[in-house]
Amino acid sequence: MKNNLFCFLGLSIIGIVSTDSCSLEISPSRVVVKFGDPVSVSCVASRPVRVLGWESVIAASHTQNDLSVQWRVDSLTDWIEEPICYGVFFTAPRQCEEKLNLVLYKKPDSVSISLVNHSSPVVEGREYQLQCEVQNVAPVQYLVLRWYRGKTEVYNHSFSELSPATPVQVSSTLLIVPNRADNGAQYRCEAQLELGAEGPQPPPTVQSEVLNIAVQYPPIFRSPEEETLDISEDSETVLDCTAEGNPPPVYVWSSSNLQEKADQPVLTAASLSPGLYTCTASNILGKKSKQFVIKHKSR
């Protein structure tokens, strides 16, 4: 009798066809399970059944006495598991099946961010690639990679076109053309598994470390226009040649009235004779000059 039962079950499973009129209900109908966690799902027949069971690589089971059967695993670690509940009935349709919508997921081992083929600092106006790498995540079709500059999301990348069930490594790139306002900007990426309403809330998330961007740029004066100063002989006025640049600029003053080398961004006008003074601010990326004209007020 036992051998006959196994033979009957094997023949029945081969011939099962899933139809809209299948009298089987799986509860819950969709299950999201973290890798290594337990899972339990029931299958219930709504009419008398000869055999009711689960076809599965692990934890396969069947019953001839009940209208429900459990599929239970203490620690789910099989990435290709696709449990199917089947029923062999007394009346037509005599055979049907329902496949469990099972999602086995795993958070990434790591998420990292880097500049591609470059190391900081970067130069203003040039194009660079940032890369975010995600190690060992599954299933990748539920993964969304979010890019942030500071607290602002600037880009996101989904992988819905991919379909492997097993853990994979994926990456995303972000093109940037930094300017001086980006000096000190912080970029990071965030890997998020959006597993639907049945998945954990909030969604499982792993963040990268912060990547600080140092931007180099040539000097620029706060006020680049030529300045003319009418001063009294005993007054104190400053010639301010301060420029912004990265690396910080060095300064050189030139004038026929200067007896000593001046390399500071500010000169005191009270100690200067009337005439033309030129200040040059420079760094490795360029230089800028600014002129000052000093005139003494007549008494």
Which residues have a Cβ under 8 Å from the Cβ of 58 and sit 6 or more positions away?
73, 78, 81
Beta bridge partners of 137: 168
Report which secondary-structure segment, H or E, holds 53. strand 49-55
The number of C-alpha atoms within 13 Å of 299 and in the hemisphere containing its C-beta is: 3
**Threshold 0.85, pTM exceeds:** no
pLDDT in tens, 114-153: 999 887 789 999 999 999 999 999 999 999 999 999 999 9
Beta strands in 116-269 (DSSP E): 122-123, 128-137, 143-149, 152-158, 168-176, 185-193, 205-207, 211-213, 215-221, 227-231, 238-240, 243-246, 250-254, 266-268
Would you say 130 and 187 are in contact if contact means Cβ atoms under 8 Å apart? yes
All CATH 2.60.40.10 domain ranges of the chain, comma separated, are 24-105, 110-213, 218-296
Report residue 76 as tokens: 């789910």
CA-closest candidate to residue 139, choices 172, 170, 158, 163: 163
The number of C-alpha atoms within 13 Å of 242 and in the hemisphere containing its C-beta is: 4
Q: Which CATH class is domain 110-213?
A: mainly beta
Which of 20-29, 55-64, 284-293 is predicted with the least confidence, judged by mean pLDDT?
A: 20-29
Four-way CATH pick for 218-296: 3.30.465.10, 1.10.4030.10, 3.30.1330.10, 2.60.40.10: 2.60.40.10
**Cα-Cα-Cα-Cα dihedral sign, residues 119, 125, 126, 132:** positive
Per-residue pLDDT, averaged over 80-93, amounts to 92
pLDDT of 14 strictly over 50: no
pLDDT in tens, 164-195: 889 999 999 999 999 999 999 999 999 999 99
Mean residue pLDDT across the chain:
89
pLDDT of 80 strictly over 90: no
Answer yes or no: CATH 2.60.40.10 is held by domain 24-105: yes
Q: What is the C-alpha to C-alpha distance for residues 40 and 201, in angstroms, rounded to an integer?
A: 20
Alpha helix segments (H runs only) across the chain: 2-14
Beta bridge partners of 53: 62, 86
Going by pLDDT thresholds of 50, 70 and 90, the confidence category of residue 20 is low
Q: What is the C-alpha to C-alpha distance for residues 255 and 294, in angstroms, rounded to an integer?
A: 11
Q: What is the C-alpha to C-alpha distance for residues 272 and 287, in angstroms, rounded to an integer?
A: 24
Q: For residue 127, count other CB atoms closer than 10 A to its CB.
A: 9
Q: What is the C-alpha to C-alpha distance for residues 112 and 233, in angstroms, rounded to an integer?
A: 63
Give the type of residue at 205: T
By CB atoms closer than 10 A (0-12, 13-18, 19+), residue 96 is buried
Q: Give the pLDDT score at 2.
A: 35
Q: Give the residue carrying structure tokens 């490594």.
A: 169
